[in-house]
Amino acid sequence: MEKMKRIFDRIEGLRNAMIEMQIRLSSVPAISPESGGKGEAEKADILLDFIHENGFEDVDILKAPDLDAETGYRPNIIARMPGQDTARTTWIMTHMDVVPPGEPALWDGNPFKPWVEQGKIFGRGVEDNQQDMVASLFALKTIRDEKVKPRTNAGIALVADEETGSGKGIEYVLKHGNPFKPEDLILVPDAGNSSGTMIEVAEKSILWLTFRTIGRQAHGSTPEKGINSLRAASYLIVELNRLYELFPEKNDLFDPPISTFEPTKKEVNVLNINTIPGEDVFSMDMRILPIYSVDDVVSSIREMTRKIESLFGVMIDIQTVQNAPAAPPTPAEAPIVRALQKAVKAVYGVDARPMGSGGGTVAAIFRRAGYPAACWSRSDETAHQPNEYCIIDNMVGSAKVFAHLFLQEE
């Protein structure tokens, strides 16, 4: 207990240094080339300077080729500190890339000139994912400065490309120089809640579909000469709501505990009121409980579209935007879950419990590859929003949780 108190006190003393690191990192727009940015190389250089200045000796840089990036590659940083048990490693994986800021007018300041206000840091990327990235770095710095040896090897993975698919990020790392072992403890601080009581161990399947309904354009005053694609698509949306009846099971591990089938994006069809649209496009976001097969859901959807095609004389094309079947869940008694529960209890005095998520995280990539990863973070979930912020106390608290996790104190 005395050792952890010393470490927690030292982390508190590094609060200003952590804020400065956040501001420095957020001043670099590490946006994927796919989203119009230059990539993560400049941000990676800042992180590597910190890593080398703080005595990390076992450091690898895995460069995923990307001709669209300014440097021609996307960097992935792997750094380790030896522990008492050198056969296993406790990992914390965070990502360097951020999403574009969106509409500038919705921000109270420049998203890439971070500002501090009322105990929060504002800026693009400060919560997603720099809060826990900075916390992991300073947790290891503190352990090293205190000359304490972790229970296992302590590792951090700072990866690219999380926001646009992970093909040049963690998926590339797993295929090229993979440092992970099935017996390792792997934490991905990419999901959580404001109280820190959620340890994400399971995800729903994700299915995104775009429906293109093709009819025949005509003048609004002569509908008999056309086939109204908007009317047919509207009936289809109502028909698709029956998916809630066809796949009604509940699982209280998840919040919400049901599968969800929601129409979302609606594209422009015609620009004037007096034209019957010959083509109409909308999309759906579906999060499906693992008990159901995605193929069964797709089969039901195709049956519904055939019904609408027959009723209205339209043709409906379905494009799959994303189809990510649920990964095998991490067991609720997995070592990473138990270690996290102890760490969260020690820092926040609350009982964290294993839960499922409706969203997708990169932990699913680990789980599909046979690594029982868990997600945890304490945040207000402002990721991707205007005026994204990180609560400074959450960043400092995460550093304490991560230090406890690396040391695995009883």
Tokens 């000796």 sit at which residue?
57
In angstroms, the CA 191 to CA 383 distance is 10
Looking only at the bridges linking them, the beta strands covering 353-357 and 198-203 are parallel
Distance CA 322, CA 100 (A): 21
Cis peptide, bond prior to residue 274, ω within 30 of zero: no
Count Cα neighbours of 356 within 13 Å in the Cβ-side half-sphere.
24
One-letter amino acid of 374: A
Q: Rounded CA gap, 204 and 325, in Å?
A: 8
Amino acid of residue 56: F
Whether the link from the prior residue into 256 is cis, omega within 30° of 0, is yes
Active site members: 97, 162
As given in the structure block, the two tokens for residue 259 are 């599968």
Distance (Å, whole) CA 28 – CA 45:
11
Distances (CA, A) of 251 to 91, 293, 359, 374: 29, 15, 15, 19
